[in-house]
Amino acid sequence: MSRRIADLLIKIGADSYEFQQKARQVERSMESLQKKLSSVGKTLSVALTAPLTALGVVALKNADTQQQAEKRLLTALRSRSDVQQRLIAQAGELQSRSVLGDEVIIGQQAYLASLGMTEEQIGRVIEASAQLSAATGMTLDSAVKNLAKTYGGLTGELGESIPKLKELTAEQLKNGEAVDFILKNYKGFAEGAASVGLGVMRQLQNAWGDFLEQIGFAMMPLATKVTKALSGIVSWLQTLSPEIKRVVVAIAGVVAAIGPLTLGIGGVIKIIPMLAAGFTALLSPVGLIVSALLALGAAFAYAKVQKQKMVDELANADDLATLERKLQENLKKQKEIAAATTKNRIVPNGIIAGFTIQKIADPEQMAPLRKEYELLTKAIERKKEMQA
């Protein structure tokens, strides 16, 4: 008897060793595949996805900055779109011969318009401010604000840096002669700054920014639709039943528990060498993915059980005639809602497929009715089986 037991132990040991060897081979293969996939993913991310994503983000940001500036100008002009368009054209022309971006210029135009200045006054102050900024090194914002003060009869800081302005009377200042002085004596400084040194680079930067703005404008409608669609998905997720939310929490709990679980498994592996390869494979990147998929499968299984439970309850609660009557009432409600709410809507087709525009009824009103219809149909089938 003892000899047989010894032979059996030897056989078990040999089988265990073979299992470990095969398991290690599988693990190495899984790791190799994972590394190859990671390498391809990183290459695509670095060489293509990341640059395109960054370009798209910058383009949308540039377009948004431009739109916001133009909207502020239109608001300051009390919705006089004809004046807005002429001032925007002036901003573009000034950008072409200076280092200033048109969105910055439009922002200053909006400020002057909010002060109640006329279109002519805005144009002259902007031009003078651009030349003054290039000549003195002050910011465009500072130049605009200081020149705007002169229309109130004050020279402020400009009087200290340009003493000649102090010779003007308050009436002359209010008539715009300080701006006339700047336009006459500082003409050409903006153009000069754009033609030497880094000025040429800054002009190229502004031109590139305008190009990205156009890309952003083209992307904006799609980005808006995607945002609205995602908002709808988020709203739908918030309406999930408490049971489904508990399932989601359970899945998250399984994933969160995998980390601490490894601490205990380390000790078990030391005690049971035969399980080492199995646990190692489980805790590899591929193993964790499999674990998550199993948890997700368990969640769907739970949902299926709950659905069958509801079907059985419906079948037991009413007779066949009542169930069929409820089914007809449900169909009638669906037709009424479809007739009243059907229109073109954005429908998500998944993360990769994107979105399509389909003519459908209000999903929020139809969804519960369709679920009820499905349950009633199953309940009628179940009732017929019970009566057979």
Q: Which of left, alpha, beta for 200 (phi over 0: left; psi -120 to 50: alpha)?
A: alpha
pLDDT tops 50 at residue 140: yes
Q: What mean pLDDT comes out for the span 290-311?
A: 62
52-102 pLDDT per residue, tens: 555 566 667 777 788 888 899 999 999 999 999 999 999 999 988 988 988
pLDDT tens track for 142-196:
999 999 999 998 888 888 889 888 889 999 999 999 999 999 999 999 888 888 8
Give, as one character, the DSSP assignment of residue 116.
T
At 374, list the tokens: 């499905």
Q: Could you read off the pLDDT of 273-298 as tens digits, one per residue?
A: 444 445 454 445 545 554 555 555 55
DSSP 165: G
Burial 259-292 (b: 16+ CB within 10 A, else e): eeeeeebeeebeeeeebbbbbbbbbbebbeeebe
| pTM recorded for the entire structure | 0.46
Through-space distance between the first and last CA atoms of the chain, rounded to whole angstroms: 60
Cα separation of 216 and 59, whole Å?
4
Contact 181, 165 (CB under 8 A): yes
Determine the Cα angle at 330 with ends 327 and 336, to 5°: 145
How many CA atoms, within 13 angstroms, populate the side-chain half-sphere of residue 72?
16
Provide the Cα torsion 198, 202, 208, 212; round to 10°.
Answer: 140
Q: Reduced to 3 states, what is the DSSP secondary structure of residue 357?
A: strand
